[in-house]
Structure formats: structure tokens, C-alpha cells
Amino acid sequence: MTISTLTFTDLYTEVQQFYAKQIHHLDGNEVDEFTATFTEDGEFSHTPDEIPARGRANIAAAVHHFNKRFVNDPVVRRHWFNMLTVEPQHDGTIRTIFYALVVTTRPGGQPVIAPSCVAHDVLIRQDGRLLTRSRRVEHDELR
């Protein structure tokens, strides 16, 4: 399918699958595969009041740094996205907004569901594939 024949329906569905794969990589601790879903110069602002990570290497470093807290605390984390809007822009970028929750489960425990966030992404298509050029995450408990 060429871009010229890509309908909104195709795009919305492609974004859903793209996010599912991206998050399976993140939650599966496949950090390189996760950062490969960002553009080379991608920007990831995942924690408020911190300078955004820029570029795949820095995004990978930020994820590894964040995950250090779990070294002696084995958890399974699952990111859930919902209420997704997809808005193609005239410049060829695609803006999305979606809600996010993180579901954290410890061995034998019940899931803890926090924080609640809203994310604003800019996606682009490169060599036929969607990539995240920037992600800004706002935390509900900090508003």
C-alpha cells in the first residue's frame, strides 16, 4: 500500500498496532527495539520537570536509568493506552493524543495501576514505517 492510498482508517489501525508493538518492546525490556520505534533524533519526555531525552541512545539511557529502581524489586510493568485520537497534519506528520496507565505487578501480588497520564505524540512515516518523533507525557497527579 502506498501512502497515497492510505485512508484515515488504515492509518488509525496502523497506529494502534504500532503502539502495541512499541509497548510490548518497552514492557518486555527490549530497550533497543523500543528505541528503534523512535526517529534517530526522537524526543521522549516521559517524566515531568526532567529534560527530555533526545536521540535513540539517550532514550535508551533514560529507560535503563528508570528501570534501575527495579533491580532488586522484580516487577512486570504493562503500559495501557486508550482513547486515542489520530490527526494527520498538512506537513505530513501525524499528531496523536492518548490516555495511558501503567499496570505494575509484583510476584504473588495484585496489580498497582498508576500513574494516569495523557500523552501527546508526533509520528512520522520513514521508509514506509511509522516512527515516534516526539512524545510528551503529562501526569494527572501533577496537574
CB of 28 to a second copy, least distance (A): 10
Residue 83 makes contact with a second copy by CB under 8 A? yes
| Beta sheet of 38-45, edge-to-edge order | 53-54, 38-45, 129-139, 112-126, 94-105, 76-88
CB atoms under 10 Å from CB of 132, counted, come to 23
Residue 101 makes contact with a second copy by CB under 8 A? yes
Residue 111 makes contact with a second copy by CB under 8 A? yes
CB atoms under 10 Å from CB of 30, counted, come to 12
Q: What are the residues binding a second copy (CB under 8 A)?
A: 1, 7-10, 12-14, 16-17, 19-21, 23-24, 76, 78-86, 97-99, 101, 103, 105-116, 118, 140-143
